[in-house]
Amino acid sequence: MSYRFFVNGDAVEVDVPGMRRLLDVLREDLALTGTKEGCGEGECGACSVLLDGAVVDACLVPICQVDGTSVRTVEGLGSAEQLNDLQAAFLETGGAQCGICTPGMLMAAEAFLATSAASSEESIRDAIAGNLCRCTGYTKIVEAIARTAAQRQAADPRPA
Amino acid sequence: MTRVLPPGTSELSAPDPLVVPPATRTPGRIGRLPLRREGPAKLTGLARYADDLVFPGAWYGATIRSTEPHATLLAIDLNEAFDWSRVVVVTAADIPGDNVVSLMRDDQPILVPVGGEIRHQAEALCLLAAPDRETLRAAKRHLAVRTDRLSAVFDPLESTEEFSHLEVGRGDLEAGFAEAEVVIEGTYRVGHQEQLYIENQAMIAVPGPDGGVTVHGSCQCPYYIHRALKRSLQLTDHQAVVIQAETGGGFGGKEEYPSMIALHAALLARKLGRPVRMIYDRHEDLSATTKRHPAVVRHRTGVMRDGRLVAQEIDVVMDGGAYCTLTPVVLSRGVLHAGGPYSCPNVRIRGRAMATNTPPNGAFRGFGAPQTEFAAETQANRIADALGISPLELRRRWAYREGDTTPTGQVLRESVAALEVLEAAAKATDFSRHAEQTRRAREARQSGARLASGIGLAMGWHGAGFTGSGEVHIAGTASVELTDEGIVRVLTAQTEMGQGTKTIFPQLVAEELGLEPDQVEVAPQDTSVVPDSGPTVASRTAMVVGGLIIKAARRLRAQVQAVTDHPFADSYQVFARDHGGLRVDEQFEPYPNVEFDDATYTGDAYPAFGWACAVARVDVDLDTGEVTVRDVVSADDAGRIIHPVLAEGQVEGGTLQAVGYATIEEIKLVDGRYLNDRLATYLIPTSLDAPRIEAILVEKPFSGAPHGAKGIGELPMDVGAPAVVAAIHDATGVWIHDLPATPERILAAMTGAPAPGAPGVSEPAPERGAA
Amino acid sequence: MPVEPPVASPRSLAEAYALLGDAPHRPLAGGTDLLVQITGDLGDPPERVLDLWQLDELRGIRMESDALVLGALTTYAELRRSPLIAEFLPAFAEAASTIGAAQIQNRGTIGGNVMNASPAGDMLPLLLACDAQLIAGTASGERWVPAREFWPSYRRTALEPTELLLRVSIPLPAGRQVRYRKIGTRRAQAISKVVMALAWQTDGDGEVWREVHLALGSVAPVPIRAPSTEAVLEGATPIEATADRAASTLAGEISPIDDVRSSAAYRRTVAARALHRLIREAGGW
């Protein structure tokens, strides 16, 4: 079967079995290896991507359900030369250590930042509760997201 | 209840948080520090971990494993109905050299030979590779293993097979107990803990034209793998090449086990003549790879009523699992730290490591010390409780000072910060006031109250670098070079796995040479490029190898300046242009005045110790025994801090691993098999389970290292768990002796109901026909 | 890369029924259970999969006379943010917030939870306690199945292979209170050790409990009601003596097991204590 969707703004078409996981399509068919596999059962969040803006585990989404949607992965954020504000905040606070949870963590954080007007520590922790990190104790990750939320809020204050 | 107690919405009479939210902390200092070297690649998905590497024509490898804890392997049968022409099968008979995973003792086979002994569940029996995963799956279904089952031993206390034993001590134990006014005993048990790096183990082997093999993969110690490959595949130094891929966490779990996987991948690749990918999924990783050693620690402590410590008798039994791996070293570190950071005139500590028919246990951050220090600290807190002395005050009396002597007879001449970390943590948390507050709340608590708050304190020490003469035996070499192109480059085998090696090494060298950190490059961790500077373990990277590259950089600077007669920074590129490159190799030399006798286990067990104190605050749901760890403040002395942000990251991450160890990380076994073999059942803390963590860095430099650094990686792992257990006691009035302190154990202790079984000990196989 | 069974993605319910009429298919909603089973090699993979995700007929949360109706494809995220749920069935939003985390809540559905038929299904005790009706369809019509008849045995449902779960209807009797309690293994991404839902109605004076429904998960091979405990609570007032009696009755009424997540003894004790607490909180003492 052929499936068409957008990845980071680019239209793509893949001819693969409909039950192939979005994770495998990204990593193997599209060579976008920034999205990681940590468990294959929706427990660790390392494969988090945005599907029409909502954060999902790419290991649990068959490609037949991606047809016609828009997917955003870590490759769609800033580049290594020009990190986006969230990536820069992770770099400066120390929110990335081994880096394997980082792409998924960034995508969960982007989903949170895009939809949430409030950014209490508790709401940040809730937003990334599906993304396991074994290095940081989450302290600096929460700090990086809080900092980005404050910066974006200051740049584009939304009505309460 | 899930999320019943989000921070800030407690129904308690709101004790103050110990830790302020990160967003309100004062920023600063970050601007002066180099940013994580490989950070941009990790933050954009460009960093290449093993499974991200593409090798055209590579096949997929798989391992066939035992499903019994102890048996004789009779045969491996390939079903003739299946087309095996597109599958490569490797058995023990295909191993050209020694069938052992080269480590401490030659007891662990790469593959169990036919006729040989299967000693644990999930042991590797044979290997398959196929061009695609569908064929590989089908091949697995058409292979059968025949065995003859043998009786199995699961409890280390019942095992008669010993890997190692040791004893340390000083003073007169009997006299000490005769003098003691109060004698307190306790038995503490801890179960397995999984490292749970988020990147599973992964190795890819590529056969070379010269009969050699290059292995790319996730690992801490490329030269361990290099040695293992040479020995078992009969390769020369140059035929075996090991290249570290970006590594998604290790925590000890990628110290020794990657050698096994690399051997498997290499055996398949050499037989096949193509690259073979051996990428574990989480289930295989959890089922087969090493865990933290379960342990049983017995304490008998003699004290005076005024709190003076006069005698310590400690007995440590560790469960090594089915093969030796690094167990004797884990045991020795456990024993050496078992007394805690306390001066005691009469002490004897005995340890033994026993074999069981469970998967082998191995390295994990802390390396034996978290087990014995949990016991030591819980014992200390129980003594304080029994004597009616505050746990803070008791430690003020007991803690090591400079000039004190440890159980091995080591005189702590310098860099002793036990009291400093204790006071720093106590002050930052206002420990005494909070303890008074929770005590009053406990006394005023009415029956039927649901939530109880508690605060707990624990301290610890951690020997920096290898135990005893370890560094002398390793004699690692690290290099700094000026290339022909005029680039300064650091060459070590020290791997980056998240802790910041690639950031601090350039920082240290740049400081010596008067350069900016980004003017110093780091050579890849490739055994054909970098020297063997020893493994990336034992909190030795910053202290030991950091020291070597500083010395190398100083010599490089001197040699260049001797020629150019100008400061290095202004003249090195000219030097390279005119004279070509220059490389300085620096080999480890023993720290001055550090001597250890391996035969008697006496002397300076470590060149220096790191010191830590953690204060934890918990809420316990008295209905269910559920624990919410709200805040942990950890004060850690690791000598001079090179990079505060990275150092804090080590403390914060280690603290959360310790909190997980204390509360939810548990492995149950049946018939020697781990039941918690998926991420749905082996649980680590999520962001909602994680407390607010504050790291306080105390700096008591070590003069033996040129930069004054000691190790920080493992230290915080030692103190978090006993602090949490003390806080649970403060809230509930019950002491939990077994880790993890699950709600099941807490409720059993509170109600007097029978506790769940001993942690780490397997249930027998269910009888056939039983329900 | 896991096994990839063939899948059909019908664009209409009629097309879905036609496919089901031709051959048995394993229905797929948000994938949060089925993909785990396939990837984890937990049992034989399905021969054919029927992807329901395109069927907008199965979406939406709406009021129908005196019931709230949830399309089978209603996600947990939708439950968490629905104003109708917040007003009429806040316990459903609370339960949804305990399931997985954002990633799971964005894909997992109420219909999937019902059809997966796990004894630990987090929403199922609520459906039992609220007397939900589960509406199944075939090409020839619809069938209403009460929740208490829906899970006859371990991992089984009352539906025929040709039937699809279409929606869930939850009656909204006046004056009904619903409470939810999940004792999990951690604060997110956790499967329950015990999950409990309690519903009752009060008469005009407000003190005496009527129509008491108590349902639990993870304490038996299927999600269950606790009729003996309900009988203790029926016609009673939420005072300490009632709570004591109900809790001890419940401890005797359930038959949990030891497993990798918890022990039978713990489950029995905390189920009783959690119920005691709910009654105490309702009684305000």
pLDDT for the residue B27: 38
Assess C188–B contact: CB distance below 8 Å, yes or no: yes
Mutate to test the interface with C, among A30, A57, A122 (most CBs of C within 10 A): A57
Assess A126–B contact: CB distance below 8 Å, yes or no: yes
**Interchain contact, A42 vs C77, CB within 8 Å:** no
C-alpha angle B264-B267-B270 in degrees, rounded to nearest 5: 145
What is the number of residues in chain B?
A: 771
Q: From the CA of B414, how many Å to the nearest CA of chain C?
A: 43
Which of the four pLDDT bands, split at 50, 70 and 90, describes residue B679?
very high
- Does pTM surpass 0.90? yes
Residue C102 has its nearest CB partner, among A41, A67, A130, at A130
Q: Is a pLDDT exceeding 90 seen at residue B175? A: yes
Assess C270–B contact: CB distance below 8 Å, yes or no: yes
List of chain C residues whose C-beta atoms are within 8 Å of the C-beta of residue B683: 185-186, 189-190
In angstroms, the CA B371 to CA B739 distance is 9
Beta strands B202-207 and B276-279, pairing class: antiparallel
First to last CA, chain B: 32
> What is the mean predicted confidence (pLDDT) over B641-666?
98
Interval B607-639: pLDDT, tens = 999 999 999 999 999 999 999 999 999 999 999
Residue appearing with tokens 């302190």: B741
**Interchain contact, A19 vs C6, CB within 8 Å:** yes
Interval C192-248: pLDDT, tens = 999 999 999 997 666 899 999 999 999 999 999 999 999 999 999 999 999 999 999
Q: Is a pLDDT exceeding 50 seen at residue B128? A: yes
Mutate to test the interface with A, among C103, C106, C191 (most CBs of A within 10 A): C103
Query: What percent of chain C clears pLDDT 70, i.e. is strictly above it?
Result: 99
Interval C150-190: pLDDT, tens = 999 999 999 999 999 999 999 999 999 999 999 998 999 99
Q: Is a pLDDT exceeding 70 seen at residue C81? A: yes
Burial letters A78-117, b for 16+ CB under 10 A, else e: beeeebbbbbbbbbbbbbbbbbbbbbbbbbbbbbbbeeee
**Interchain contact, A59 vs C6, CB within 8 Å:** no
Assess B23–C contact: CB distance below 8 Å, yes or no: no
**Interchain contact, C270 vs B624, CB within 8 Å:** yes
User: A16: left (phi > 0), else alpha (psi -120 to 50), else beta?
Assistant: beta
List of chain B residues whose C-beta atoms are within 8 Å of the C-beta of residue A125: 687-688, 690
Local structure of A75: helix, strand or coil:
helix
Chains that touch A (3 or more CB pairs under 8 A): B, C
Per-residue tokens: B547: 């020291």
pLDDT for the residue C203: 77
pLDDT for the residue B15: 55
Contacts with B, C 19-38, CB within 8 Å: 36
Q: How far is residue A13 from each of residues A1, A49, C92, C162, measured CA to CA in Å?
A: 10, 18, 39, 33
In angstroms, the CA A151 to CA B425 distance is 33
Q: From the CA of A154, how many Å to the nearest CA of chain C?
A: 26
Query: What percent of chain B clears pLDDT 90, i.e. is strictly above it?
Result: 93
Distant-in-sequence, close-in-space partners of B521: CB < 8 Å, separation ≥ 6: B487, B488, B489, B490, B506
Instruction: Spell out which chain A residues touch chain C, with contact meaning CB-CB distance below 8 angstroms.
Output: 17-21, 24, 28, 40-43, 45, 48, 51, 54-57, 59-62, 64-65, 67, 108, 111-112, 126-132
The residue type at B158: E
Which of the four pLDDT bands, split at 50, 70 and 90, describes residue B11?
very low
Residue A134 has its nearest CB partner, among B35, B51, B198, at B198
Distant-in-sequence, close-in-space partners of B184: CB < 8 Å, separation ≥ 6: B299, B300, B301, B303, B379, B382, B383, B386
Q: Is a pLDDT exceeding 70 seen at residue B26? A: no
- Of A100, C91, C12, A114, nearest in space to B52 by CA: A100
List of chain B residues whose C-beta atoms are within 8 Å of the C-beta of residue C36: 680
pLDDT for the residue C205: 67
One DSSP character per residue, B42-87 reads HHHT-S-BGGG---TTPEEEEEEE-SSSSEEEEEEEEPTTS-GGG-
pLDDT for the residue A156: 82
**Interchain contact, A134 vs B199, CB within 8 Å:** no
Residue C102 has its nearest CB partner, among A19, A55, A62, at A55
Mean pLDDT of chain B: 95
Residue A42 has its nearest CB partner, among C2, C4, C100, at C100
Contact C135, C169 (CB under 8 A): yes
Which of the four pLDDT bands, split at 50, 70 and 90, describes residue B12?
very low
pLDDT for the residue B571: 97
Mutate to test the interface with B, among C187, C198, C250, C277 (most CBs of B within 10 A): C187
List of chain C residues whose C-beta atoms are within 8 Å of the C-beta of residue A33: none
How many residue pairs bridge chain A and chain C with CB atoms within 8 Å of each other? 104
**Interchain contact, A130 vs C189, CB within 8 Å:** yes
**Interchain contact, B2 vs C184, CB within 8 Å:** yes
**Interchain contact, B2 vs C274, CB within 8 Å:** no
**Interchain contact, B626 vs C183, CB within 8 Å:** yes
Assess B132–A contact: CB distance below 8 Å, yes or no: no
Q: Is a pLDDT exceeding 50 seen at residue A79? A: yes
Q: Is a pLDDT exceeding 70 seen at residue B23? A: no
Contacts with B, A 20-49, CB within 8 Å: 27, 31-41, 43-44, 46
List of chain C residues whose C-beta atoms are within 8 Å of the C-beta of residue A54: 77, 106
Interval B337-359: pLDDT, tens = 999 999 999 999 999 999 999 99
Assess A98–B contact: CB distance below 8 Å, yes or no: yes
- The 3-state secondary structure of B589-606, one letter per residue: CCCCCCCEECCCCEECCC
**Interchain contact, B681 vs C187, CB within 8 Å:** no
Residue C101 has its nearest CB partner, among A24, A40, A130, at A130
Query: What percent of chain B clears pLDDT 70, i.e. is strictly above it?
Result: 96
Instruction: Give the number of other CB atoms < 10 A from CB of residue A155.
Output: 8
Interval B43-88: pLDDT, tens = 999 999 999 999 999 999 999 999 999 999 999 999 999 999 999 9
| Chain Cα centroid distance, residue A25 | 16
Q: From the CA of A144, how many Å to the nearest CA of chain B?
A: 9
In angstroms, the CA B541 to CA B537 distance is 7
Residue C5 has its nearest CB partner, among A19, A57, A130, at A19
Assess C263–B contact: CB distance below 8 Å, yes or no: yes
